[in-house]
Amino acid sequence: MSKQYFGVHTMGGVITERDGVLCTIRLRMPAGILSVEKMRGIAEIAEKFGQEEVHLTTRQTVEIPHIHHTRLEEIKAALAENGTPLGSEKDEVVNIVACPGNDRCKFANSDSIRLAKRLDERLFGKEMPVKIRISISACSYACTSPVLNEVGITARVVPHRTPGQCTGCGQCTEYCREGAIGVIRGEARVDLEKCIECGVCVTSCPYKLIDIRKKYFLITVGGRRGRHPQIGRVLAEVDNEDDVVNIVDRMVYWVYRRAWSGRLLSDQLDDIKFDSFREEVLPGLLKKE
């Protein structure tokens, strides 16, 4: 799906400011990751165009403010050469957000940054009838608020206690923030109604008697922030990244073909027959063992 070019001022990474003359330039930066060299390059470009400050956005990217409209082509070329090209903000797939994942976070259950880069390569900047925000969290603590985005992806684990060997030390109960684990007759018991499948109990057990019964990605669709927040609907639970990428790709295409502008995706899921996608299209996308 190629995007027709009508001039740099029409691109999603160019945001007209209040005075109608200056523009803010938003950059493409999946998961907010960039090298020190590219960061230095952004600073040099901002200074070249007369700016002393840049803005770090809520979607893990950078904006360079107050660029005169006559210099848009010039800054676009400079940013592309730096490897930090124009981003997107209009009705399209915008910068993909992700937590640090298992590269750094002790709570993470997946490599969220790798997944963000895969989805960025497949989907970033696709022209859509509505804005599509994708957010990835590597655990149920959901630091990136995936369920409040048009597409949310959360890595979760279902704990399993080795029966008959628990010492009842209670360490897992201390670490569980949901109060979902209690020691009953000398053994730790998990209340599945309270468990949010974060996996903290697995890593906290000093005797390695709690392991993972199931690891999966929860995909939600139709969440939103803003004036009237809404939690997204569950689309699927899948156990591998390939399924996540394929399902999200097809869901975005479904929205492209069926949704229309002027309404948030959350307000038209029933109109685009979200349940039909889940029941008729989704089964054919799942990876076969």
Amino acid at 71: R
pTM: 0.92
Domains of the chain: 8-82 (3.30.70.3340), 97-157+215-285 (3.30.413.10), 159-211 (3.30.70.20)
Q: How far is the C-alpha of 160 from the C-alpha of 216, rounded, in Å? A: 14
pLDDT score recorded for residue 289: 46
Express each pLDDT in 105-134 by its tens digit. Answer: 999 999 999 999 999 999 999 999 999 999
Q: How far is the C-alpha of 3 from the C-alpha of 185, rounded, in Å? A: 64
pLDDT score recorded for residue 1: 45
Phi, psi (rounded to 5 degrees) for 274: -55, -40
What six digits make up the tokens of 191? 């209340």
pLDDT score recorded for residue 139: 97
Could you tell me the mean pLDDT of each successive run of 10 residues in the chain, 289 residues long? 65 92 96 97 98 96 97 97 95 97 95 98 96 97 98 95 82 92 86 93 89 94 95 96 97 96 96 94 78
pLDDT score recorded for residue 287: 66
Query: What distance, in Å, lies between the first and last C-alpha atoms of the chain?
Result: 30
Burial of 6 (C-beta count, 10 Å sphere; 0-12/13-18/19+) = exposed
pLDDT score recorded for residue 4: 55
pLDDT score recorded for residue 286: 82
pLDDT score recorded for residue 207: 87
